[in-house]
Chain A
């Protein structure tokens, strides 16, 4: 291949088209994204023309002298790329239309599940809850409750069982969301 300086006009057009394409890609509306893809795709296709070197005659032996031929390979590639981009454009249009049919707009939507995970994280909730968990007890609360039950079982034999249960029950209500150590103190009293 002869090293020829690239066609500056083509390079400038490529720069503009790629810039426009990237800018439009950042939009939320799918129609604009589609326009961006088209601009970007055509910018890249033009790049292949630059990559092919100096323009020349048809690359057919006997019609053009070998050193005046233009390089046919990038043109074949560009044709393929154009066809592919056309197909993708058609598909994206269909998706945008379907989105408009379903939602009345064609904006790219947020992922709801993602939002839910983020919300749970922001409000410092556990990602999972067990089925047998009512969602209020921490592990410490549970340990305290088990401890209470054991203490009660021992004391139930005694005569103060009724009063003690009432007392502990009241203490439980008060300290449910509190430091579990208070629970122990209440029982100790």
Chain B
């Protein structure tokens, strides 16, 4: 085992420490900025280190020295490390964007005294969910990020945000209850919540009980990932939040749900018993989501609907239950986090420059802000899957995997994916025509876009282009991750090295006492 295991908790711990420090220094805005940026930068470095280090197998930390099945463990495998890296990069960019916005606006939009600690807690929650090797700790990670997201969504407490926040909070609470219910039942059935041990014990259960537990988990994660018909809350609540908040929600929160879904389908319940159900859900998510997007005339809502729609692609890849499908799905998640966040940041800039998010009131931005036009065009085309951008590569991988599986349902999904891609192109091109090319209905406010906001949005667009350029190595990496996920044994053996207990102080104690958890 590598010596780098001490890095595994850092992406969780650093933002949490940062959150505490920014809370203590709440009067000093400058200090808060420095602390936040430092915490997230160090978190990014830690994540990149993990990404490079997990090649030799998953890194495991038994927290507090308590051995694995009883104590909580943190696991960084290929999938976790990739998710951590991409999410740290995205959260750092969004933080810089919101800092620049705060500087430009005199901190009216983002009351920093609350904003910084909450934002860092959100990052810690996301990271915790990604490295958790324990079902209950995964729940805690979800709750950390959700609690932070409630505060961020209702920042300022205006009427519109309270309305949106109400729906978001209640729906999220219900999904958390379902998740908690599932954990309770799983514990009752197996006597453990450790993911690795669950992977060993769940297959021994009665198939019907397995199915109940499986569907309960899918229900909980389906709400968080916004899979149709559990997706109605998302386009309703996201667009009202401040632009950087919406961007980070859209990029990361639903993907945490997708990540949990991947773990459920590969580690806990392999075998794909509910694949048909998931495939139908994926098809409905793609089509219903994109038809919703086509009907919108507010660009923030339009982009939110495309977000729902493209969750369908990821579920499609997962539900194919093949290594290629899973690898393509992980690649698609990576691409989508970057592109969707970039798109929301750019939409925030458009709102600033054009004074509105309604496509009826925007216009002529191509002439007013050519840089902005380029920044919108690249992620929009990538989202629609125009070659050679990363969206095209991700979709091609998924469609190839679908054709390789070759069942009638998989082929239907392939057709559905192509149609959705086409409709996405239609929706974003319409938005492009309205916002950038039509004659401006009213004179746009004369504002300059702060350099930091444009720069950070540009950095994300650059990252998405980098995903395109380095798609080959990335695809190799995600295929490797998918192979490890489907094999399962590397993960289980890393957590429970001798087949029963992890490494830690308590292993010796219990062996001396001869007891069993």
Contacts and interface: CB of A to CB of B under 8 A. Distances in A.
Contact of A131 (B157, B173, B441): B441
Nearest to B70: A73
Interface string A104-146: 0000110101100100010000011111100000000000000
A150 interface: no
Contacts of A30: 166, 170
A113 B183 CA distance: 37
B363 A131 contact: yes
A99 B165 CA distance: 10
B114 to A, nearest CB: 13
What DSSP secondary structure best describes chain B's contact surface? helix
Contact of A98 (B162, B359, B438): B162
Given A61-B513, A95-B154, A80 B170 contact: no
Contacts of A131: 363, 438-441
Contacts of A51: 184-185, 187-188
Interface in B444-473: none
Interface in A27-82: 30, 33, 37, 40-41, 44, 47-48, 50-52, 61, 66, 73-74, 77, 80-81
Contacts of B359: 128
Given A113-B298, A131-B438, A25 B181 contact: no
A34 to B, nearest CB: 9
Contact of B360 (A44, A87, A128): A128
A44 B90 CA distance: 35
B297 A127 contact: yes
Given A40-B177, A80-B136, A128 B169 contact: no
Per DSSP, are chain A's interface residues mostly helix, strand or loop, or mixed? helix
B295 A44 contact: no
Nearest to B236: A111
Contacts of A25: 170, 174
A87 B140 CA distance: 13
A128 B177 contact: no
A95 B187 CA distance: 34
Nearest to B159: A102
A113 B301 contact: yes
Contacts of A117: 295-297
B170, B173, B183, B515 — most chain A CB neighbours (10 Å):
B173
A91 B176 CA distance: 15
What class of interface size applies to chain A in its complex with B? 35 or more
A48 B515 CA distance: 23
Nearest to A108: B166
Contacts of A163: none
A76 to B, nearest CB: 9
Interface size class of B (residues with CB under 8 A): 35 or more
B163 interface: yes
Given A77-B183, A113-B301, A33 B188 contact: no
Contacts of A88: 147, 150, 169, 173, 176
Interface string B148-185: 00110010010100111111011001101100110111
A1 interface: yes
Contacts of B180: 41, 44, 81
Contact of A99 (B70, B166, B296): B166
B187 A128 contact: no
B116 interface: no
Contacts of B166: 30, 95, 99, 108-109
A99 B438 contact: no
A47 to B, nearest CB: 4
B434 interface: yes
Contacts of A33: 170
Nearest to B182: A44
A170 interface: no
Contacts of A127: 294-297
Contacts of A91: 147, 150-151, 169
A109 B184 contact: no
Given A47-B185, A81-B180, A121-B295, 11 more contacts: A40-B177, A84-B140, A88-B176, A95-B169, A102-B159, A108-B166, A109-B166, A113-B239, A113-B298, A114-B236, A131-B438
Sort A-B residue pairs by CB-CB distance and give the 7 closest, nearest first: A51-B188, A47-B184, A51-B187, A109-B163, A131-B438, A102-B159, A131-B441
22 contacts: A25-B170, A25-B174, A30-B170, A33-B170, A37-B174, A73-B70, A80-B136, A84-B140, A88-B147, A91-B150, A95-B162, A95-B165, A102-B162, A111-B163, A113-B298, A113-B301, A117-B295, A127-B294, A127-B295, A127-B297, A129-B360, A131-B440
